[in-house]
Structure 1
């Protein structure tokens, strides 16, 4: 997967970093990429860790803060050694503040082209909690949340696309998703499902007797919507004919928020590749509507990318400690 050269690996104790380690090693080796390991201290927005302990009587808050930082630094150093022993160039940073904000700020300041993170540890819950969802929504570069026992190599990949040549941002994003998904599938020896879920908006409403529209007319509208969507999908995948041996193209009528999780469960999908636009009113797999619904109902790994020109709402300042 010859795409990523400057990888940020989140390996704090709140993330299942053990599942992501092999994938990071494989990516860095395959791409001759540099890796920055980061751990985070959630200080509630404060820049000084000692403030976390200022309300505890009889204890030195400054000493406690220094002890916490030292433990985080030691863990980072141990994890970095595992990568350095593989010949990978590694830097380490300890980020202090609100974790997802500091991670995004580090990306903005240092030009990382991929964030890899083990799924956030949440007892009793299989799906993506707020901590990971914030990254998926707001990080400007691709984010890969690892939550699959199949890592470091995927076996069944699903790429969710909704091509539209009349929308430059969406069209470019769908091509980028296909490039990532096909490259990953080929390098991992995985099977790839390319899926578009389509429907005629408000079909059920149009079929209500009050609408006074004939079934023949409605069926004609449905057929037109189906043909138009299928033509756009075929146009997109035609540029990736070299992957026909590992690729299955699926054009399914329904509600994407229902169809995608059902397909993931039924087919044993371990990795979803999907786009995030954060734009209201755009049909498809975009954070803020369908994509968020999907992510709340799957537990596999997810690799997401933003449309060109996306600007994160998070600023670039941060509080960090070098090791």
Structure 2
């Protein structure tokens, strides 16, 4: 089945209270029978440090930090790897560039990281969000209090294909990938799969503020047509998934469909909460080849509202905007 993880990278941003994060990453690696590397990604000493330190002292401090970090990571790994082997590595420098470079140069197909949580992270963009925007492989951001096993997995799909033809095929393939990843997670976790799509015929704020006049009867008719259209698209996706899976696997999964009328930037998260989602699998890039248009607004707002793990998927053909020197 497509989407099987083979090389996983678990990213630690510091040495504080990481046992639960690593345990969750090792659990994911074990269920997928994947190789896993745990990296401690640390910022380098600030650029102005060499202005107040002698050059030899600056270099010595930098090397000392790396040596101490490697010693800590090696020692911790002895406990972490008792039940499943993990390699380790320390990366010093810009965490985003280092992680993305490691992903590209080592054929990583999944990055796992604990969610950051602070007002400044949300205001200025945490490493989590930057990885979700720019990392070329799926990024799995686990909850700060990770669970040993998931019970409810949500696949959040955008089934609106009223776009230019060149975009429709990209969006359709992205939906297939989201569904594949979510299905596999649900299978390996023995969890319930929920498939969520939220649609809105008229932007809610425009109708509410009286910018247009809405005929309620006509609106109900249009909503019914949209619901039927999206339900048919979802049926096609599930049929394709059934053909890819072994016999009776989809019957075992019994995916629950949630086609909801509402404001997507609010209702995706609300629907995920209503089914007690442990993880939401969703696309984090809306379009390809548009400079500056890295993450869709709906995806970004939804992620900030979720209180569970998130797996961010990029569309086929996505290339990281980060310049990388390949090994």
TM bucket, shorter chain: 0.7 to 0.9
Q: Secondary structure at the match of 1:75?
A: helix
Q: Which runs of at least 4 in structure 1 moved beyond 6 Å after TM superposition?
A: 123-128, 206-210
RMSD: 3.4
2:69 equivalent to 1:72: yes
Task: From 84, 106, 110, give the equivalent of 2:106.
Answer: 110
Distance in 2 separating the partners of 1:22 and 1:94: 19
Distance in 2 separating the partners of 1:126 and 1:213: 36
Distance in 2 separating the partners of 1:92 and 1:168: 39
Shift of 1:92: 2.9
Contact 1:162 1:233 in 2 (8 A): no
Partner of 1:290: 298
Partner of 1:182: 183
Partner of 1:200: 201
**TM-aligned CA distance change 1:225 to 1:263, over 3 Å:** closer
Partner of 1:301: 309
What runs of 5+ residues in structure 2 fail to find an aligned partner?
243-248
Contact 1:35 1:91 in 2 (8 A): yes
Partner of 1:173: 174
Contact 2:200 2:264 in 1 (8 A): no
Contact 2:115 2:144 in 1 (8 A): no
Partner of 1:86: 83
TM-score, with length taken from structure 1: 0.82
Partner of 2:155: 159
**TM-aligned CA distance change 1:16 to 1:119, over 3 Å:** farther
Partner of 2:250: 243
Partner of 1:149: 145
Q: Which deviates more from structure 2 when the two are superposed, residues 254-263 or residues 79-88?
A: 79-88
Shift of 1:127: 11
**TM-aligned CA distance change 1:16 to 1:246, over 3 Å:** farther
Residue-by-residue CA offset, 1:30-80 (whole Å, 9 max, x unaligned): 33322222112212xxxxx48564344689333322221112111221243
Q: Secondary structure at the match of 1:60?
A: helix
Distance in 1 separating the partners of 2:295 and 2:88: 30
Distance in 1 separating the partners of 2:120 and 2:277: 21
What runs of 5+ residues in structure 1 fail to find an aligned partner?
44-48
Partner of 1:46: none
Distance in 1 separating the partners of 2:232 and 2:284: 23
Contact 1:197 1:251 in 2 (8 A): yes
Q: Which deviates more from structure 2 when the two are superposed, residues 130-139 or residues 258-267?
A: 258-267
Q: Secondary structure at the match of 2:116?
A: coil
Q: Which deviates more from structure 2 when the two are superposed, residues 220-229 or residues 294-303?
A: 220-229
2:326 equivalent to 1:315: no
Distance in 2 separating the partners of 1:296 and 1:208: 26
TM-score, with length taken from structure 2: 0.81
Contact 1:138 1:313 in 2 (8 A): yes
Shift of 1:108: 1.3
Q: Which deviates more from structure 2 when the two are superposed, residues 196-205 or residues 224-233?
A: 196-205
Partner of 2:281: 273
